[in-house]
Structure 1
Amino acid sequence: MDDTQIHRLMTQSGCGGTLTPAVRRFAQACAALGAEAEREQCEKAMQAEWRLKVRRLVQGFEHVSGLARLWEPDHSTGSERALWTRATEACSDVVKLLNSKA
């Protein structure tokens, strides 16, 4: 925030006065607090969006996993079953993490 912006805000608010170093520091501190609050709000929104997308991914994996269980006994090899088991365990871990932070 530069001096002209600070002076304009002082004039608009009706407080007038002189733009002293203390007033300048106060205005800059207020601007910094506003920027910090905005950054925190953006982070929370991004975290919520990330959690939603991960939940959708987990739901999709669980659906595919259910279909694979129907197909698995007749058509998959032992190594494919082992890979699928690890993927299922990883998905389960993600669900636990999502539920612990929710």
Structure 2
Amino acid sequence: LMFTILLSALYSGTALFFHWWNAYTVLFTISRRLRILEKKIVACQERMNKRAFSDALIGKLAHAANFDFTAAQKEADTLLNSMMKGGGGGDVGDQV
């Protein structure tokens, strides 16, 4: 009887140890992955902030070339809307 009690205590202690060890490693893995994700998000935000420079540069180049983007966008929207409503049924070149 004493042997059975000692063996069951050993088994339960081992199971408890592996349970806590597994919980610790899972929490550590999740924490590490969240830290990596946070670093990636910060890096993406920094890259998106740098993109504003290229947008400003595109705006300056369009201004220097006298290119009106909003007028071209409105014309493209008008053509697309007329094509979607079935106004002609031909090629884009037929619409112009």
Question: TM-score, normalised to structure 2's length?
Answer: 0.56
In structure 1, how many angstroms separate the alpha carbons of the residues matched to 2:50 and 2:39?
Answer: 17
Moved over 4 A (4+): none
Aligned length: 63
- State the superposition RMSD in angstroms: 2.4
In structure 1, how many angstroms separate the alpha carbons of the residues matched to 2:43 and 2:66?
Answer: 31
Identity rate of aligned residues, in percent? 2
Matched, 1:53 2:43: yes
In structure 1, how many angstroms separate the alpha carbons of the residues matched to 2:52 and 2:37?
Answer: 22
In structure 2, how many angstroms separate the alpha carbons of the residues matched to 1:25 and 1:66?
Answer: 62
Matched, 1:69 2:69: no
- Structure 2, gaps ≥5 residues long: 1-5, 74-96
Pairs within 5 Å for 1:1-102: 20-73=10-63, 74=65
Question: TM-score, normalised to structure 1's length?
Answer: 0.53
- Structure 1, gaps ≥5 residues long: 1-16, 83-102
